[in-house]
């Protein structure tokens, strides 16, 4: 009788131990993986780059913004799916910076970009090709291909002028200049900004899936190899 009780007790303890192990494993694997992507927001002065970022990150719009001097930053966290968190480091680069020597520094390690033009000012669209060429000359993915770039035709709540009135011509323009996509956007009315961002993030995840993520000390956090400095790689080396 006592022996049967002992066997029953041992079976109970072993079963509870196995259940505990399973539960622990389940909990540990449910920790979301985090990615950090550096995103550039570039284009001519006054096209609404800062307004787009403010709307996207802070859900806020104001008619009164001072022109960005040099570069500004914002951070956006996205629950991409139940297992993935994407953090976007948005670099708001001043419109006049294309003529300076700092863009190579600003562009370094970027994994995606928005180029913004103002649909009411055709001259800002004319400058898009120069911005794209400058971007492609100074930053690329690890395999040498251009980083994903989405074109934003901003201020679409106002009267549009130029090529942006023809969807077919815009599609052809984006194909010729290797844009991932283009969207008519309005920071004022909150039009298509989230959709444009989702498209860009999807492209980044698609193009960077070939790179094995490097796990940092913070459990579950991942930073892609192409946004790590050589010193970071050395510090995170498992050898």
Residue 225 CA, distance from chain mean position: 15
> Per-residue confidence of the chain (239 residues) as pLDDT tens digits?
544 544 454 444 444 444 444 443 444 456 888 899 999 999 999 999 999 999 999 998 877 667 676 788 999 999 999 888 999 999 999 877 666 677 888 999 999 999 999 999 999 999 999 999 999 999 999 889 999 999 999 999 999 999 999 999 999 999 999 999 999 999 999 999 999 999 999 999 987 665 544 444 343 444 444 444 444 444 444 33
C-alpha triplet 155, 140, 131: angle, nearest 5°: 35
Q: Specify which residues 73 forms β-bridges with.
A: 91
Note whether 92 and 178 are within 8 A (CB): no
Q: How far apart are the C-alpha atoms of 236 and 228, rounded to whole Å?
A: 10
Q: In what order do the strands lie in the sheet with 149-154?
A: 71-81, 84-93, 33-43, 112-118, 149-154, 181-185
The first and second tokens of residue 119, run together, are 């649909």
Q: Write down the pTM of the prediction.
A: 0.76
């Amino acid at each position: 009788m006592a022996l049967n009780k002992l066997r029953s007790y041992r079976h109970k303890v072993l079963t509870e131990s196995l259940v505990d192990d399973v539960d622990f494993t389940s909990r540990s694997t449910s920790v979301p993986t985090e990615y950090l992507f550096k995103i550039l927001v570039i284009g001519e002065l006054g096209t609404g780059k800062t307004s787009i970022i403010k709307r996207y990150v802070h859900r806020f719009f104001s008619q009164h913004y001072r022109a960005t001097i040099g570069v500004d930053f914002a951070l956006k966290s996205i629950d991409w799916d139940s297992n993935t968190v994407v953090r976007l480091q948005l670099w708001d680069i001043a419109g006049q910076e294309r003529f300076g020597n700092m863009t190579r520094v600003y562009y370094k390690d970027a994994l995606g970009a928005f180029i913004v033009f103002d649909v009411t000012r055709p001259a800002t669209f004319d400058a898009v090709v120069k911005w794209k060429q400058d971007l492609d000359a100074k930053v690329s993915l690890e395999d040498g291909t251009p980083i994903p770039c989405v074109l934003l035709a901003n201020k679409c709540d106002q009267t549009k002028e130029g090529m942006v009135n023809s969807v077919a011509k815009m599609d052809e323009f984006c194909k010729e200049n290797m844009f991932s996509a283009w969207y008519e956007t309005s920071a004022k009315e909150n039009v298509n900004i989230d959709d444009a961002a989702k498209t860009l993030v999807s492209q980044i995840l698609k193009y960077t899936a070939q790179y094995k993520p490097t796990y940092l000390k913070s459990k579950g956090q991942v930073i892609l190899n192409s946004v790590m400095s050589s010193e970071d790689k050395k510090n995170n080396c498992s050898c």
